[in-house]
Amino acid sequence: AQSVTQPDARVTVSEGASLQLRCKYSYSGTPYLFWYVQYPRQGLQLLLKYYSGDPVVQGVNGFEAEFSKSNSSFHLRKASVHWSDSAVYFCVLSAYSNNRIFFGDGTQLVVKP
């Protein structure tokens, strides 16, 4: 069965600190993976996506993610967070076999000034 797990419901970091948000997926086929961000009472915006090639992908606003097939992971990173990065981050799996989209539960990021 396909699924996405974001083990951290909430992450709190200080402004300027580095960040890693974890994502694990379960899928036997070729995964297409995305990270989206949701600001309060808004829709989702794409940060980055991966489907092949270099396992480290660059996204908007200094975000990057690293795909690991051996670990079934797609962790999101940022070198230095800003208070405006406070939002909910969703890891998303697109499953080729049945055209299904799977969202993780989301990680609430709180950046303290």
Partner 1 sequence: AQTIHQWPVAEIKAVGSPLSLGCTIKGKSSPNLYWYWQATGGTLQQLFYSITVGQVESVVQLNLSASRPKDDQFILSTEKLLLSHSGFYLCAWSRDWGNYAEQFFGPGTRLTVL
The CA-based dihedral angle spanning residues 70, 36, 87, 111, taken in that order and rounded to the nearest 10 degrees: 40
∠ Cα 87 94 29 (to 5°): 135
Shortest Å distance, C-beta 44 to partner 1? 4
Binding mask 60-99 for partner 1 (x = CB under 8 A): ------------------------------x---xxx--x
Which DSSP state fits 55?
S
CA distances from 91 to 15, 30, 50, 103 (A): 22, 16, 11, 6
Binding mask 18-57 for partner 1 (x = CB under 8 A): --------------x-x-x----xxxxxx--x-x------
List of residues contacting partner 1 (CB under 8 A): 32, 34, 36, 41-46, 49, 51, 90, 94-96, 99-106
